[in-house]
Amino acid sequence: MDRDFYQRKMAVRFDSIDVDGDGVVTKADFERAGERVVEGLGLTRESAQGRAVLDGAGTFWAALADAADVDRDGKITRDEFVIACTETMLATPAGFGITARPFAESVAKAADPDGDGLLTADEYKRMLTAMGVKREALADAAAHRANEDGSISVAAAIDAAQDFYTSDRPYHPATYSFGTF
């Protein structure tokens, strides 16, 4: 198991969740991450999809805080985040279902405005951008599990998130890239 690779991947994810950049993640960061998705997808907070995204972000925070915030000060450092992801999702893949999946699923569904279960290439990129994925990682992410035309099913997008959080394998071994989510 390439735990080192996994932990570097989660350290990068930490930075995209630490929205205010103060070096710790808090409930407020997760709320902001949820709001960023809602805004990025052009939803309102009150819509069913908007509420699902915000709830999903809250669930993600609560699960990580449960695992990582040992002193209950409401703050998770980068090291604590990496260890919590390792314990709750890499070591226990089923943990993805109660940790990151509700957020990933609500986001993927919210990114599919016509609800046909397929995201166009543009919709998928928009979703990843709203998730805080860096521009340089977008092509990589979009290639992962996507169809030839860059479209991707909602189910495959959720599977990609599951791979991201539960796998220690690089998406592209040659470049050892992180992929993303």
Instruction: Tell me how many degrees the CA angle 95-167-15 measures, rounded to the nearest 5.
Output: 85
Select the span of 26-34, 47-55, 56-64, 77-85 touching Ca ion (CB under 5 A). Answer: 26-34
Angle between the 121-130 and 101-110 helix axes, to the nearest 10 degrees? 130
What residues numbered 115-144 form the site for Ca ion, per CB under 5 A?
116, 118
Minimum distance from residue 132 beta carbon to Ca ion (Å): 13
d(CA 143, CA 150): 7
Least separation in angstroms between residue 3's CB and Ca ion is 25
Taking CB under 5 A as the binding criterion, the range among 2-10, 33-41, 88-96, 114-122 that sits at the site for Ca ion is 114-122
Q: For residues 179 and 13, give the distance between their C-alpha atoms in angstroms, rounded to a whole number.
A: 11
Using CA atoms, how far apart are residues 132 and 79, in angstroms rounded to an integer?
20
CA 33, 37, 42 angle in degrees (round to 5)?
A: 150
State in angstroms the smallest separation of the CB of 123 from Ca ion.
7
Nearer to Ca ion, 2 or 22 (CB): 22
Residue 39 found at the interface with Ca ion (CB under 5 A): no
Kindly list the residues in this chain that would bind Ca ion in the complex (CB under 5 A).
Answer: 18, 20, 22, 29, 112, 114, 116, 118
